Structure 1
Amino acid sequence: MTSRANLSSAFVFDPENTYQKATLAHLYRNSSIIKVASFISAPPPEVRVYLRDLASAANSTANENACGSVLAGQGSEADEFGDICVWLGIGPYSEGHEANILRALNLADPTRRARYRPSFAPFLAAHPFWQITLGQLQSSTSLPPTFKVLNSNEFIKFSVLLSKLHNKFYFHVSCGSGADATVAHFLVGRLAEGILSGWVALVGIGITPK
């Protein structure tokens, strides 16, 4: 990453896609400088290709199935966000370590220790507050139950890419208050193909009416 770059090279998305850019901007409160922890490095070129294809397939699948995000699903009232990918690499990012993922992405306040329980972990972050909730993945789609497959053309391509991730799990993070809740969705899995090994996250934004 050059000194002029202000987006972490750990994130992979189409810079021409305004919906994907909106997701990143929302996560970091439109900050002009977006950083991840120093121990997260840029993905190898082969992994970057995979992440780019995964994010692209996720967006195509969402568009074909009448929603903005395959993670937020058709129940979300947001249509201005698109799914993006982030490379976490090697580290303690398996299921049960959701707070580690947010800290690695600088989405949690490192000076405040979260009181972590299996289904709830409140802690300060870039937003007024975060609240982690673990979710389930459908065995038929490897996606949250909020997403319904209405058209399978793009989904078939997406599912092939998604199948390359092992030990997949899902959690979502609510922030703020009011009539509607903004929710950041994270589908995390371990890429393990030959010498390519590390944790990957697909990230989406949704708005759920309370």
Structure 2
Amino acid sequence: MSAAVRLNKDQIKTSVDLFSVSGLSDASAVSVANTLSKLYGSSTGQAPTASLVPSHLILLSAEPRHAHPPSPEIQEHLRDLIVTAHEGAAALCCGSILAGQGSETDEYGDIAIWLGDGPYGDNAPEVLAALGLERWVGGDSASTIGRISLSPTTGLPESLRPPPPQTSVNKLEELLSRLENKYAFFVKGGPSAGGAVLQVLLGYIRIGEEGGWGGIMGVGVWAD
């Protein structure tokens, strides 16, 4: 089983080096590091509470009982999902397959998340708490949580125009089909977030004897 690394501010700054074993391109590795820095950097005023499996690009739950990597089979599935998502985003000339072309920047890339078993079905507040991100939006009355519509065909945000090339779509469809009860949401922070919008696609994954909630997390920037 791959080792998990507890995030701290120094590791966030150098996380691009941690991803060198993941198989991501250098540009994609930088974009994932930017996402971690935005979400868990010093702007929150709190020490990061999440852990990371760098080899498989998986951010783990901040809750101690779930802060361990899933089975090797689920790790491989999530890694394939993220690598394919980055390929699709690159084909569409955007940084995040979740944020799509609607984001004003391409500097933030998607990362996999694993929360394990818990009350995470259609429950954005619990997901944010599990990721240690409740303070990122919770202290700002201007922050909002909304639903992202997913295509019934691809399982990807309907806002993607045009859809990724067929080869990427086929693989993403296959990988996303393993996620049951899929849903996606965004969290638009207030002024303190600098226009950043957190985006999450989550579903229940069961492979072999293990099951739990996992998916994709990304960041975009929307104009106010």
Q: TM-score, normalised by structure 1?
A: 0.80
Corresponding residue for 1:7?
7
Q: Percent identity?
A: 33
CA contact (8 A) 2:78 2:215 kept: no
In 2: Cα distance, 1:33 partner to 1:107 partner: 9
Residues 79, 128 of structure 1: alpha-carbon distance in 2 compared, 3 angstrom cutoff: farther
2:180 to 166, 171, 175: 166
Structure 2: stretches of 5+ with no match in the other structure: 9-15, 21-28, 51-61
Q: Aligned Cα RMSD in Å?
A: 2.8
SS of equivalent residue, structure 1 residue 39? helix
Give the drift of 1:155.
2.3
Corresponding residue for 1:137?
150
In 1: Cα distance, 2:49 partner to 2:143 partner: 18
In 2: Cα distance, 1:202 partner to 1:152 partner: 20
SS of equivalent residue, structure 1 residue 81? coil
CA contact (8 A) 2:84 2:168 kept: yes
CA contact (8 A) 1:6 1:32 kept: no
Corresponding residue for 1:101?
127
In 2: Cα distance, 1:2 partner to 1:147 partner: 34
Q: TM-score, normalised by structure 2?
A: 0.75
Q: Deviations over 1:4-54 (max 9, x none)?
A: x3339xxxx971311111111211125774421212232122211111111
Corresponding residue for 2:169?
155
CA contact (8 A) 1:72 1:204 kept: yes
SS of equivalent residue, structure 1 residue 206? strand
Corresponding residue for 1:22?
34
Q: Which has the higher helix share?
A: 2
